[in-house]
Each structure stands twice: as C-alpha cells, then as structure tokens.
C-alpha cells in the first residue's frame, strides 16, 4: 500500500493505493495521527484502493471521529464499486461522506 499526504492549512489530502488490510492499516493510522492539530478536514482519495478490510474501516471511523471532534469533516473520494459496496454493507455510507463522481 502507498500513502501520499498533502496538508494545506485546515485540509489534509491523503491518497491511498493498493490494499488496506490488517497488515497495512497501521500505516494509514500513523499518517492520520501525524497530521497537525490545525487540520480539521480530511479528504481521502480511494480511487486506487483495491480492497479494504475491517481493520481499514476501523481506521476510517477513527478519522471520522477526529474530524468531528475538530468541527470538520472526513470525505472519502472516488472509491471503486467493490470498495463502495463495503461501505454500504456496513452502513458507513450513511455516516461518512462519500464522493463517488
């Protein structure tokens, strides 16, 4: 899995490629934890994410809680259909903003 992070004032943009599994989710968790306290909004680009496990979902839920605590928002961008279906099946598509277009 590869993670690219860019921070611009209160917005962090994170791009993930590969598979977000129990083995790789600590990398994303670390990237989110290392964001400056000034970041209240996080956009995570999932266009190149091939697979997400429950461990990956847990990290995204934690990121959602972080942004809410900072009066911000987490947005998941461009997930593939297979990845989007995981969010739908778990009900997270009702809790986290997902931008598909």
The model's pLDDT over 41-89, given as tens digits with 9 standing for 90+, comes to 999 999 999 999 999 999 999 999 999 999 999 999 999 999 999 999 9
pLDDT, position 99: 97
The model's pLDDT over 21-51, given as tens digits with 9 standing for 90+, comes to 999 999 999 999 999 999 999 999 999 999 9
Q: Confirm if 20 and 31 have CB atoms less than 8 A apart.
A: no
pLDDT, position 101: 75
CATH number of 2-99: 3.30.750.24
Scored b (16 or more CB within 10 A) or e, 35-55 reads beeebbbbbbbbeebeebbeb
């Amino acid at each position: 899995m590869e993670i690219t992070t860019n921070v611009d004032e209160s917005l962090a943009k994170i791009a993930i490629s590969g598979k977000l599994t129990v083995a790789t989710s600590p990398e994303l968790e670390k990237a989110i934890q290392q964001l400056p306290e000034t970041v209240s909004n996080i956009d995570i680009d999932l266009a190149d994410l091939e697979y997400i496990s429950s461990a990956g979902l847990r990290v995204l839920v934690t990121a959602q809680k972080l942004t809410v605590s900072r009066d911000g928002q987490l947005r998941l961008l461009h997930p593939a259909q297979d990845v989007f279906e995981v969010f739908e099946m778990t009900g997270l598509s009702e809790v986290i903003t997902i931008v598909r277009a």
